[in-house]
Amino acid sequence: MSQLKIIGKPISRDDAWAKAKGELKYADDFSLPGMLYGKVLHSKYPAAKIISINTEKAKQFSGVRAVLTAGDVPHNETVTRFGQSSEVGKGFEGLYRVLADKKVRFMGEAIALLAADTEEIAEEAINLIEVEYEPLPGVFDPVEAMQPGAYLVGEVDSNIIAQFGCAQGDIERGFKEADIIIEDTYKVPFVDHAYLETESGIAWIDENSVINIRVGSQVIEHFRDVADVLGLPHNRVRYRGTMMGGGFGGKEDITVETYLALLTWKTKKPVRLVYSREESILCHSKRHPFIMHYKVGAKKDGKLVALEAELISDAGAYPYLSPWVNLYATVNAAGPYCIPHIKVNTYCVLTNNTFTSANRGFGAPQPNMAYESIMDELAHQLSINPLEIRRINCLTTGKALSTTGQTFKTYVALPEVAEKAWEALGNPTRIKDKYKKVGQGLAIGLMSYGRMTFLHDSSRCYVRLESDGSILIRSGIPDLGGGQVSILCQIVAEELGVPMSKINIYYSDTALTPLAGTTTATRQTYMSGNAALKAAREIKKRLIYKAAQMMNVHTDNLDIGEEKIIVKYKPSQYLPLIEAIKACNADGIELFCEAQFNGPFTMTPDLSNIRGMIFPDFTFGAQAVEIAVDIETGEVEVLKLVTCYDVGKAINPLSVEGQMEGGSIYGLGYALMEEVIIKDGVTLTPSFSEYIIPTSADVPEAKAILVESGGGLGPYGAKGIGEPACSIIAPAILNAIYNAVGVRIKSLPATPEKIIRTLKGQFN
Amino acid sequence: MKQIKYISPRTKEEALEVLQQEKDRACIVAGCSNVLPNLKDKKIAPQILVDITTLESLKGIFKKEGKILLGPLTTINELISSKIILEEYPVLTQAAREFADPIVRNTATVGGNLVTASPAADLAVPLLSLDAIVKIESLGDKREVNLINFFTAPGETILNSHELVVGIEFKQSDINKNGCFMKIGQRKAMAISIATLAVNLDWKENTINQIRIAAGSVAPTPLRLTGVEEFLKNKKLNQELIEEAVIKVSKEVNPISDIRASEGYRRYISGILFKRAIERLAN
Amino acid sequence: MEEYKIEMKINGERLVATTQADESLLKFLRRNGFFEVKCGCEKGECGTCTVILQGKAVKSCITLALQANNKEVWTIRGMEKFELGRKLQESFVQYGAIQCGFCTPGMILVAKAYLDKNPIPDRKEIKREIAGNLCRCTGYKKIIDAIYAVAEENKKMN
Ligand SMILES: Cc1cc2nc3c(=O)[nH]c(=O)nc-3n(C[C@H](O)[C@H](O)[C@H](O)COP(=O)(O)OP(=O)(O)OC[C@H]3O[C@@H](n4cnc5c(N)ncnc54)[C@H](O)[C@@H]3O)c2cc1C
Ligand code: FES
Ligand code: FES
């Protein structure tokens, strides 16, 4: 391969200048003449029967243009879908209900929609809608909700909505062979995405009677779901996706789009709807809390022999992506370790809590926290160092994942990444403060990138070379801030030998850009990157074919770079790109291409014992931290934080580092401070002064170490990094706390109070 | 529809007149960092906003006859950058540095912090340990109240609706020079306190002449721990005494459990903060 | 609802408009098309709405529009008029300090107001100074890099 010129260089992102200048328009940075303001009425109770809804007063209120309740929604109940191409069956398609009808399932559930002339009127009038409730007992603990006879959250006879299993070997024999067994229960809480841009958008009906929705969404394929709700043909709903002010999985489900579409459809006017921070925390999805019971057996020399795990997750009030998240958790449950005897069972249970769904890491951070704590405990009890125990047990190239048996044909960067991360910490820092103790901790992990293979995932991209040598790209790709859009520009620039500045890209429009699939599952660099590569290479082939004729040189001897078609063995001989373009145009050779890239396809697995290939590939990484614990206050200061991943190939190292640094701080919040406290269905932390995320003063300057094995399935050998980067920092921090003060925190977040309680027992 | 008015009086007297007229209907606005969030949450529903931020006479830090007078509109950042405060009342500088974040500190005021009367008001605590006095005016009337008597309940003070805080005053003294503030929150910036504690100490040859201890977020209002102060007075400062006092601090505070911390932790941590403060001052 | 006439200089240009007593500066600015001022919480807790008012960074959601009457307001769109503003924008772009970009206007404005006062801070001081501005994407490292690079340049010029 010729030398890469743009790929692999730390370049400025395509979208960065517009953001630096404040020119970029997010979903809500837009208005239209005659626009109305939408508002949602949310349930006051987590579980209740709706006896009656009286909208008369609200409707009479001056300036109110529409009030809608469940009865006004053409198809109030559909199923949750996420842009997959294949039929995946009932296990994964849950109920999607637009407005609560007869019964409410969680506090914050939408009951009615309203549109009015001004925001103030909307705010005032929404409170005039009278809802008569009959509170029901509800159930708020997933373990309780699993029991026979428990309060039923939904309308079917069980709260358990998904159940998965994995097994290999003989678990009983495994534990008999073990010299040491560690058994414990771990818990993780509800977590908010806390993107700074809340859920928001604007909708209008255009001259073709198409409902246009301007919104930040990770899954613009939801246009189909919105059309289904309205009973419209799919081509009558158009998403015009904007750059998002953060997504992290929270804009993967439908947020406000259905409400916007309904209100604009009803009023025939443009409508704007913006969630307040409180609504965002109260009403939209959260990361799943899990209760994880683990039993792990090992030999004296540290070799793992058996792992049994039972994971129970709280799906909240509606399924959304819960079954999928649980499948990920199941596959991740044994971590990146070779263990001959395995038994994993997971249960996903409805409760009357706020619904849970995708959140960066998608079911990986939870079991990672548990198994990496156990690995650390094993190391401690067997007096083996934390790096060594991982070296002894981790997966290597050619080995198979213990849970599913999927084998790794490409390079498995374990234990390389673990060694690098651990070494980078260096010797423990000496601190003079007599109340502070320093500790170091390590965690390793794997995480898939690309969607589950039985979803038959694909992505498309369109590239067109203009007659002046500039390039236009169209891709349905949503950008949640990770630089997804810019990566495509970079790939096309590389392949067609033009500078980034000559590329213009249109993205995230379901009518005009080819659908590129969801910005989820860390899949865009891999999937859409490959689609862009394929389209660009096709055009390149045509250019070179023409140039070869013109230059009388064999195509094999030509390459493109710096807007020239160059003779490889004699770079001084070249044809300006523009000349080749002219010639192609004159000959009617197409200088545009829409390409589709397909991931590997498999059948839907047996969900009670998942075996074989479920994911295209995995990313491997390690995170190591050094912390200081104040032994009297319990405060933890993270002094050093190192993230090392095999990213395959860093297409833009700045973006990759950004994902690794940002991801690790996202994980730091999970470890030390973040929790959406929901008590009996009521959220007690509905603002940023109660839901605490790290500020710059709370974090170390994270260090990112990139390993580039070139072994990924993405363009140029890239792997995905967005989600993996946040998924093992929590156990690394917990292990460091143990190393510092000898207490093992088994539930997140590790607050000062929790640490002190564990250290001292009761207070006094 | 709501009807809400705005006035920006040109003089203090004009402000007092408006307050006299409007009483409960008025809401004084200073830095606005509490007022606007409260309006948004509908925790308050005033009919007129009285914006005092243009009143120059309520600004500034003045030194006079062995005293310091803070205008109520003194911002937190002005406190931080005041040399005289740093040198003579370091407890206040320390608290100001841990207050909110650098941007909020540009606008949030001392007066606003006291009148908000949050149990977690971070400036109330050092001002209590400085034994500050609050100067209050209303149309044709003036009074002074010791800060210790100012707070009555969460969000409530002895201030009447027609009154304005016009100054906060404290003495120049040895004890005020020797102070230490401690805060524990859920994070390092923009943190509502889990517990705060301030100590001002006057001691000679190891004997405590006078000590003032104030605590925040551990009772319905910021408070002075007068029981512990009494206990420590005229005693020889040593490890044993400190340990005894730590227990007394934990007993004298009167916290609740909330989402930020439990009652037990707050009692415990108050003792620890006290110990740390006294250790720092005695070294 | 009573309307108040209000006048201010925004990014160097005069704006005359009306507002209401309890309208925040944030709402006022967005209502008048200054969409570059972002709204992340409306409670003073995220910093995305930061603007420079009379030379100081303030959170516009906890400032009354009327408190900016007859005053000078700068948003990110005005930063191009200052050398320091341009340098910061350039540096943010170059150092990868921008991901979703929702915190970026606030971050750059805070940095501008700060560097105006203290042109050569160290990394620790920068970290402390941006603590009122949340960023969920970057983990802050590259933002500190970007601001520090400008500080370094200032140092060289001194
Ligand atoms: C992000 C954020 C972080 C915060 N962090 C902290 C913190 O760390 N510690 C802390 O203690 N607080 C904190 N606060 C709360 C708030 O900033 C402080 O209480 C601040 O001091 C209030 O001052 P202000 O000038 O903004 O008051 P305003 O909001 O203008 O007024 C507050 C109250 O005081 C009254 N008032 C103001 N001045 C006078 C006067 N002269 N006479 C009579 N009444 C008056 C007003 O009517 C109102 O009731 C924080 C707030 C925010 C938004
Ligand atoms: S919107 Fe103003 S601080 Fe969040
Ligand atoms: S870049 Fe997204 S919040 Fe900072």
Which ligand ends up closest to the CA of B126? 1
8 Å CB contact of A696 and B261: no
Q: How many domains does chain C have?
A: 2
**Domain enclosing residue C109, as ranges:** 82-157
Q: Is A33 in the C-facing interface, judged by CB distances under 8 Å?
A: no
Mean pLDDT of A568-584: 96
Q: With 50 as the cut, is the pLDDT of residue A523 above it?
A: yes
Residues belonging to chain A with any Cβ–Cβ distance to chain B shorter than 8 Å: 120, 124, 435, 632-633, 635, 673, 677, 684-685, 688-690, 692, 694-698, 751-753, 756-757, 762-764
Burial degree of C33 (CB within 10 A; 0-12, 13-18, 19+): exposed
Q: Are the beta carbons of A57 and A145 closer than 8 angstroms?
A: no
**What DSSP line would sit under A107-134, residue for residue?**
TT-EEEEEEESSHHHHHHHHTT-EEEEE
Report the residue of chain C nearest B29, measured CA to CA. Answer: C64
Do both C89 and C151 map to the same domain? yes
Q: Is B1 in the C-facing interface, judged by CB distances under 8 Å?
A: yes
Structure tokens at C77: 């769109």
Give pTM, 2 decimals.
0.97
3-class secondary structure per residue, A334-395: CCCECCCEEEEEEEEEECCCCCECCCCCCCCHHHHHHHHHHHHHHHHHCCCCHHHHHHHHEC
Do both A268 and A335 map to the same domain? no
Q: Which domains does chain B have, with CATH numbers?
A: 5-51 (3.30.43.10), 56-171 (3.30.465.10), 178-282 (3.30.390.50)
Do both A665 and A732 map to the same domain? yes
Do both C57 and C109 map to the same domain? no
Using 50, 70 and 90 to split pLDDT, how confident is the model at A706? very high
Q: Domain end: A208, A243, A274, which one?
A: A274
8 Å CB contact of B33 and C45: no
Mean pLDDT of A549-562: 96
Do both C150 and C91 map to the same domain? yes
Task: Give chain C positions within 8 Å (CB) of B37.
Answer: 42-44, 62
Do both C15 and C71 map to the same domain? yes
Mean pLDDT of A661-677: 98
Measured CA to CA in angstroms, residue A341 lies from A181, A296, A302, A328 at distances of: 13, 10, 15, 20
Do both A497 and A394 map to the same domain? no
Task: Give chain A positions within 8 Å (CB) of B184.
Answer: 633, 635, 752
Which ligand ends up closest to the CA of C40? 2
For residue A172, is it within any domain? no
pLDDT digit string, tens, across residues A322-347: 999 999 999 999 999 999 999 999 99
How far away is chain B from the Cα of A666, in angstroms, using its nearest Cα? 15
8 Å CB contact of B4 and C129: no
Q: Are the beta carbons of A263 and A203 closer than 8 angstroms?
A: yes
Q: How far apart are CA A27 and CA A240, in angstroms?
A: 9
For residue A149, is it within any domain? no
Q: The CATH number of the domain where A87 resides is what?
A: 3.90.1170.50
Do both A654 and A722 map to the same domain? yes
pLDDT of residue A91: 75
Do both C110 and C152 map to the same domain? yes
Do both C29 and C94 map to the same domain? no
Q: The CATH number of the domain where C132 resides is what?
A: 1.10.150.120
Q: How many domains does chain A have?
A: 3
pLDDT of residue A87: 73
Do both A416 and A465 map to the same domain? no
Do both C107 and C86 map to the same domain? yes
- Chain A: partners with 3+ C-beta pairs within 8 Å: B, C
pLDDT digit string, tens, across residues A621-660: 999 999 999 999 999 999 999 999 999 999 999 999 999 9
For residue A189, is it within any domain? no
pLDDT of residue A764: 52
Do both C103 and C134 map to the same domain? yes
Phi-psi region of A406 (alpha: psi -120 to 50; beta: other; left: phi over 0): beta
For residue A187, is it within any domain? no
Q: How far apart are CA A459 and CA A70, in angstroms?
A: 35
Report the residue of chain A nearest C103, measured CA to CA. Answer: A196
Strand ranges in A450-515 using DSSP code E only, listed in sequence order: 458-465, 471-475, 503-507
pLDDT of residue B150: 98
Do both C72 and C7 map to the same domain? yes
Do both A518 and A583 map to the same domain? yes
Task: Give chain A positions within 8 Å (CB) of B101.
Answer: 695
* A200, β-bridge pairs: A274
8 Å CB contact of C66 and B2: no
Report the residue of chain B nearest A764, measured CA to CA. Answer: B268
Q: Is B102 in the C-facing interface, judged by CB distances under 8 Å?
A: yes
How far away is chain C from the Cα of B10, in angstroms, using its nearest Cα? 14
Q: With 60 as the cut, is the pLDDT of residue A495 above it?
A: yes
Q: What ipTM is given for this predicted complex?
A: 0.98
Q: What residue type is assigned to position A296 of the chain? A: V
Residue numbers in chain B where pLDDT is lower than 70: 1-2
**Residue listed under structure tokens 């540096």:** C91
Q: Domain end: C52, C77, C102, which one?
A: C77
Do both C7 and C35 map to the same domain? yes
Residue with more model confidence, B257 or C158: B257
Do both A576 and A633 map to the same domain? no
* A48, β-bridge pairs: A104, A135
Q: Which of B33, B43, B221 to mutate to test the pocket of ligand 1 (most atoms within 8 A of CB)?
A: B33
pLDDT digit string, tens, across residues A166-215: 999 999 999 999 999 999 999 999 999 999 999 999 999 999 999 999 99
Do both A258 and A313 map to the same domain? no
Q: The CATH number of the domain where C14 resides is what?
A: 3.10.20.30
Side by side, which strands form the sheet with A36-42? A64-69, A110-116, A36-42, A271-274, A200-205, A211-215, A237-241
Do both C8 and C72 map to the same domain? yes
Closest alpha carbon to B198 in B180, B210, B185, B216: B180
Q: What residue type is assigned to position B194 of the chain? A: I
Q: Domain end: A210, A244, A274, which one?
A: A274
**Residue listed under structure tokens 């818990």:** A187
Do both A360 and A422 map to the same domain? yes
- Strands A703-707 and A636-646, bridge-based pairing: parallel
Q: Are the beta carbons of A333 and A403 closer than 8 angstroms?
A: yes
Choose the closest CB to C98 out of A19, A665, A695: A19
Do both A432 and A511 map to the same domain? no
For residue A160, is it within any domain? no
Closest alpha carbon to A249 in A349, A325, A161: A325
Do both A294 and A386 map to the same domain? yes
Q: With 80 as the cut, is the pLDDT of residue A418 above it?
A: yes
**Domain enclosing residue A78, as ranges:** 36-136+199-274
How confident is the prediction for chain A on average, in pLDDT?
A: 96
Do both C9 and C36 map to the same domain? yes
For residue A2, is it within any domain? no
pLDDT of residue A1: 44
**Residue listed under structure tokens 């319905």:** B220
* A180, β-bridge pairs: A298
Q: Domain end: A582, A598, A614, which one?
A: A598
Using 50, 70 and 90 to split pLDDT, how confident is the model at C1? confident
Q: The CATH number of the domain where A587 resides is what?
A: 3.30.365.10
Do both A411 and A495 map to the same domain? no
pLDDT of residue A81: 82
